[in-house]
Chain A
Amino acid sequence: GQSLEQPSEVTAVEGAIVQINCTYQTSGFYGLSWYQQHDGGAPTFLSYNALDGLEETGRFSSFLSRSDSYGYLLLQELQMKDSASYFCATLTMSTGRRALTFGSGTRLQVQP
C-alpha cells in the first residue's frame, strides 16, 4: 500500500522561511510532487522531484532523498498569500499506469 506523513499544521511569520516535511512508504515509487490548495480552491502544481536533490522554482524549493523516503518543500520570503494547504504526493508506476497518491496536507498559516 501507500502511506504519506506530513505535519497537519505549520505557522510562520511574513518574510520567514518554512520547511514542510513529507515521509512516504510506497511501492513502485517514481517521484514526489507538491501541490498548493487555497481554501475553496483547486490544487495547483508546485514542483516535482524524480531524482535526489534540490529543485528550485522562485521562492519555492523541493528536495527529495529516495534512500530515506523523504522529501520537503521549502518556502522562502513568506507572504500572506502563501497561507494555504500544501500536499505532497507520490507518483507511482505499475504496468504502464501512473498514479498520484496524496498526503493529508499541511495547513500553513502565515502571520503578519
Chain B
Amino acid sequence: EAGVAQSPRYKIIEKRQSVAFWCNPISGHATLYWYQQILGQGPKLLIQFQNNGVVDDSQLPKDRFSAERLKGVDSTLKIQPAKLEDSAVYLCASSLAQAGRYEQYFGPGTRLTVT
C-alpha cells in the first residue's frame, strides 16, 4: 500500500513569510497527526485529527499555526508569519482509529528553514 505522502520535501523562507505543508495519509486511516521535530529532539505533536475533526491541538501555537483536514482525507498545515524558531522538520503521520498497537505511519517530512 502507498505510504503517507507529504509535500514539499524542503522549503526555505524568510521570517515573517507564510508557508503551507500538505499531507495525504494512508487510505482508510481515520487519524492524522502533525508533528514538529527540531534537530536533535523527538517529534512533538502539534495537532491530531479524527476524520475531519480536531481531537487535540493543545500544543499548536494558534497565533501563527493553523491546520485543516478536508473531507477527512488530506490535510494542510500553515504557518503565518514564520519565526526563526520554526525551523524544523514537519512530519505527518496517520493511523487506524482502533489500532491495538497504536502504530503510527510517518511521511518523509518537510524540512523548513526560516532565515
Contact = CB atoms under 8 A, between A and B. Distances in A.
Contact of A102 (B44, B48, B56, B109): B44
A89 B91 contact: no
Interface in A52-106: 87, 89, 91, 97-105
Given A97-B55, A97-B56, A104 B42 contact: yes
Interface of A: prevailing SS: strand
Interface residues on B, range: 20 to 34
A100 B104 contact: yes
B114 interface: no
Given A97-B55, A104-B41, A42 B106 contact: yes
A35 B105 CA distance: 10
Interface string B83-114: 00000000101000000011111111100000
Contacts of B102: 31, 33, 48, 91, 98, 100
Nearest to B35: A102
Interface of B: 4, 40-45, 48, 55-56, 91, 93, 101-109
15 contacts: A31-B102, A42-B4, A42-B106, A43-B43, A43-B93, A43-B106, A97-B55, A98-B102, A99-B48, A100-B102, A104-B40, A104-B41, A104-B42, A105-B40, A105-B41
Interface of A: 31, 33, 41-45, 48, 87, 89, 91, 97-105
